[in-house]
Amino acid sequence: MGLVGYGTAGAYFHAPLIRATPGLTLAAVVTRDPVRRDEVAATYGAVAVSEVPELWDLCDLVVVASPNRTHVSIAAAALNHGKPVVVDKPLAPTAEEARELVRLAEKRGLMLTVYQNRRWDGDFRTLRRLVAEGRLGEVLRFESRFERWRPVPKGGWRETGGAAEIGGLLYDLGSHLIDQALRLLGPVREVYCESDVRRPGVVSDDDTFVALTHAGGARSQLWMSSMAAAPGPRFRVLGSAGAYLKHGMDVQEERLRAGMAPDAPGFGDEPEARWGVLGTPDEQHAVVTEPGAYLDFYRGVAAALRDGGPPPVDPGSVVDVLAVIEAARLSATQRVVVHLG
């Protein structure tokens, strides 16, 4: 495996999972930072290189975890050099650029997949199971939030780079929230968005709301914010037979950042205090949260390469997510409801 980028995504969300997956070895990392180069060698025994083309002779597959504006160009270069590719989200700034990458991968006969790791959040896995079992009845409304309290900007391209950097919360956290909504409730027909920049010195959106009307009639309401001093519930899902209410974030990110190995016992297990509640006003009970399973993504990558099966995330499904993001941007700019075909 060759990894492009060793910032937050590369260091916490990709390298540890690659190391923990049988059949995968982190062979080379593209980073120019001297401290990161030393860390890559000491932690993974990987070669640190300065430029992407140096990877071609060092790896079998390329993982793109570089800044968002580089995703398309690096993924296309890797495919053209005969390398299967994993791309961190967002795959591309537009649905059409994503389609072009999908077509290129198909033409070259190579795997292309996208690191939509939040499909393997424990709380989302739990919700999907409850829906599949009919515990909520027909889902009528899906409320989902990634809200944080960060009144002082952290800086960096995600906040200060502008549109050219493909920064902001809609592309960052929205890529996950919209992806989960589509996985749960299917295609979207209408999109409405309110998007704001609330903090001084920030250029990209840091307080955004998206409302979706799904083809089946259900509605999704999605919040993403860096200015939430009182975060709302992670999920509030209302159905014809009951509701599911869940507070707190999936535990896997905090454990990866703390250095816990993703194959350690209990890595994805959530403490009882964070379990969600299922029921009605007359009867409610706690629901054990399914273990989070980010490692399943890279296990799926290994299986796809070894056995020729489907990738863990179909890139075509991510094209649909980007189409919704584009519609949301248009809605916020023109203050209209955008209708999708």
DSSP per residue over 170-205, as a string? HHHHHHHHHHHHHHHH--EEEEEEEEE--STT--S-
Res 161: pLDDT: 82
Domain boundary among 115, 143, 167: 115
The Cα 99–Cα 312 span in angstroms is 18
Res 162: pLDDT: 78
Query: Do 326 and 219 fall into the same domain?
Result: yes
The Cα 62–Cα 60 span in angstroms is 7
Query: Do 204 and 281 fall into the same domain?
Result: yes
- Peptide bond preceding 151: is omega within 30 degrees of 0, i.e. cis? no
Residues paired with residue 237 on neighbouring β-strands, in sequence order = 142, 244
Per-residue pLDDT of the chain (341 residues; tens, 9 = 90+): 999 999 999 999 999 999 999 999 999 999 999 999 999 999 999 999 999 999 999 999 999 999 999 999 999 999 999 999 999 999 999 999 999 999 999 999 999 999 999 999 999 999 999 999 999 999 999 999 999 999 999 989 999 887 889 999 999 999 999 999 999 999 999 999 999 999 999 999 999 999 999 999 999 999 999 999 999 999 999 999 999 999 999 999 999 999 999 999 999 999 999 999 999 999 999 999 999 999 999 999 999 999 988 999 999 999 999 999 999 999 999 999 999 97
Domain boundary among 75, 96, 115: 115
* Structural domain count, the chain: 2
The Cα 21–Cα 8 span in angstroms is 19
The Cα 43–Cα 333 span in angstroms is 45
Domain boundary among 96, 115, 134: 115
Query: Do 74 and 137 fall into the same domain?
Result: no
Tokens, residue 41: 């060698």
| Residue of 100, 91, 224 lying closest to 166 (CA atoms) | 91
pTM, to two decimals: 0.96
Q: Which amino acid is at 29?
A: V
Range of the domain at 138: 121-294+322-339
Query: Do 268 and 168 fall into the same domain?
Result: yes
The Cα 301–Cα 86 span in angstroms is 8
Q: What is the DSSP letter of 235?
A: E
